Amino acid sequence: MTLTSLVLILLLGLLLIAVEIVLIPGSTVVGVVGALLSVLSIGLAFYYLESLQAWLFTGSAVGISGGLGILGLRSKTWNRFEVKSAIGSKAPSQSGQILAGMTGITTTRCNPIGQAEILNQLHEVYANGDYLESGTPILVERIENQYIYIKSNS
């Protein structure tokens, strides 16, 4: 086995570790395979190369790994991976046309949150701690901060 193939095995191992950290964190399998390939390349270096060359290869591998680790721990390294945009808009108001005193019917169970049909549109409603079955006639009690509070109309 040549020095080139050992270097390629080491680089593949380091690449798999980088993929584990950046692209698919938490899977563990890719990182473990990368670490095993890195250790395997060092073991093969001692098997196929002379002692001095194997120790130089091991030192180089540790130096490269350590350098990449230090580079990865710098705060500026990860700036290019950050999401810098922010959502500044708000969801459209669902209660704009709904007024207190309107009637409707629940389409799901409200325990205490559910859906109701008011003005032929589905809206998320809050039943003030009451439990209302699906199909219950309701009355819009009040609207606060775009939340529709209802009570049973029976």
Q: Are 153 and 123 in contact (CB under 8 A)?
A: no
pLDDT of 11 over the 90 cut: yes
- Using CA atoms, how far residue 27 sits from 30, 35, 55, in Å, is 7, 14, 32
Average pLDDT for 31-37: 93
Every domain of the chain and the residues it spans? 3-80, 103-152
The alpha carbon of 46 is separated from its chain's Cα centroid by a whole number of angstroms, namely: 42
pLDDT in tens, 134-144: 999 999 999 98
The CA distance from 63 to 84, in Å, is 33
**Residue written as token pair 């120790």:** 55
pLDDT band at 68 (very low <50, low <70, confident <90, very high): confident
By DSSP bridging, strand 113-118 and strand 103-106 are antiparallel
Q: Which CATH number fits the domain 103-152, given the four candidates 2.40.50.100, 2.102.10.10, 1.10.3720.10, 2.40.50.140?
A: 2.40.50.140
pLDDT band at 90 (very low <50, low <70, confident <90, very high): low
Q: Are 98 and 88 in contact (CB under 8 A)?
A: no
- Please provide the distance, in angstroms rounded to a whole number, between the alpha carbons at the two ends of the chain: 85
Range in 13-27, 92-106, 133-147 with the lowest mean pLDDT: 92-106
The CA distance from 137 to 116, in Å, is 9
Residue 139 forms beta bridges with which residues?
Answer: 103, 151
